[in-house]
Amino acid sequence: MLNDKNLYKTPISKYGEFGLIQHLTENFTIKNNSTIKGIGDDAAVLNPENKKVLITSDILVENVHFNLAYTPLKHLGYKSVVVSLSDLAAMNATPEQVIISLAVSNRFPVEALDEIYAGIHAACKRYNVDLVGGDTTSSNLGLVINSTVIGYAEENEIVYRNGAKPNDLLVVSGDLGGAYFGLQVLERENITFKSNPNFQPDLAEYSYVLERQLKPEARTDVKSLLKEMNLHPTSMIDISDGLASETIHLSKQSKVGFAIYEEKIPMDNQVITTAEEFGINPVTGVLNGGEDYELLFTIPVTDYAKIEHNPNFTVIGRATEEENTVLLPKGSSQVIPLTAQGWDPFLNKHEK
């Protein structure tokens, strides 16, 4: 992504730190009334307007969370915002400000950072959030992006992980597994490219799973969808580390167990066909893959009629008295205990 010498040529030293920040952020405008002062001073000034303030932060590190061999810089900038927006969506809050900090090595020219900030700008526009600050510094280890998102909610709107009760229904937005299998395709093509740089893959048949991996979306719309249905989740979390890990987080925080029905897990057809191509059970990818950034939540069983026919949501299980999480395979009386095998950045592999 950085080897086009005609496109990428201006050294960062031409601008200096403050000149670089001004250059990268000159096209950002303020959209939210809660933003009193954004970029241009020592700190942002925000007005919560008597609402609760929610803050979250995520860090993306080159060769740990992303590979620039197949990750477009603009997509990376977009994703860096989305991953934090998703955390606030999981709290049933409305994100309104973002702070972005970059650490870059000298192999990144200004044009590369322009691409990253074009993605950040696109995400801010798409989700109506204001870029209100950040920092840039040098790095000896490649590219590091840190995003901090600030959002707001009325106290009675906020949803935590610890409110699920036995017999609550376990519900998921959208469909799952796309990001994991998109990553499998990208890794495979990267290996092929290394052995044959002249190879030009046709990835049209993988368009959906690739987009789920490279340009995910945060489900900030779920808050309004739930409000329209007069639904308030008893617990909620976003799916960044795989369905199994996230369900176990809800289980531990709420002190309940969960039974997940395998046949109820929503998957796109492209997920299923790609899984078959790789010889992987698609449910395995859903349970352990992550990065779909859909929302997983619980509702009282008495609210089932409100959600039953809504195409945005799928009931995939229920909460149980016993504090363990299991998968109930289709057409079988077998019960499979689930463990947290999602992404662990400290191991740089799935948990064992």
Domain limits, the chain:
12-153, 169-350
**Residue keyed to tokens 């996230």:** 246
Task: Give 260's strand partners.
Answer: 317, 327
Q: How far is CA 45 from CA 10, 24, 34, 52, 54, in A?
A: 33, 20, 9, 16, 15
User: Which pLDDT does position 106 carry in this prediction?
Assistant: 87
Asked if 234 contacts 170 with a C-beta cutoff of 8 angstroms, the reply is: no
The CATH number given to 169-350 is 3.90.650.10
Residue by residue, DSSP assigns 207-233 as HHHHHHHHS----TTHHHHHHHTT---
Asked if 110 contacts 10 with a C-beta cutoff of 8 angstroms, the reply is: yes
Query: 0.85 exceeded by the pTM?
Result: yes
Could you tell me which residues come within 8 angstroms of residue 202 by beta carbon, excluding any fewer than 6 positions away?
none
Q: What CATH class does 12-153 carry?
A: alpha beta
Tokens at residue 177, please?
């597994």
User: Which pLDDT does position 351 carry in this prediction?
Assistant: 37
User: Which pLDDT does position 200 carry in this prediction?
Assistant: 81
3 state DSSP class of 349: strand
pLDDT, tens digit only, all 352 positions of the chain: 444 444 558 887 787 777 787 888 888 999 999 999 999 889 999 999 999 999 999 999 999 999 999 999 999 999 999 999 999 999 999 999 999 999 999 889 999 999 999 999 999 999 999 999 999 999 988 999 999 999 999 999 999 999 999 999 999 999 999 999 999 999 999 999 888 888 788 899 999 999 999 999 999 999 999 999 999 999 999 999 999 999 999 999 999 999 999 999 999 999 999 999 999 999 999 999 999 999 999 999 999 999 999 999 999 999 999 999 999 998 888 899 998 775 555 555 443 3
Sign of CA dihedral 174, 91, 293, 83: positive
User: Which pLDDT does position 193 carry in this prediction?
Assistant: 87
| Topology agreement, domain 12-153 and domain 169-350 | no
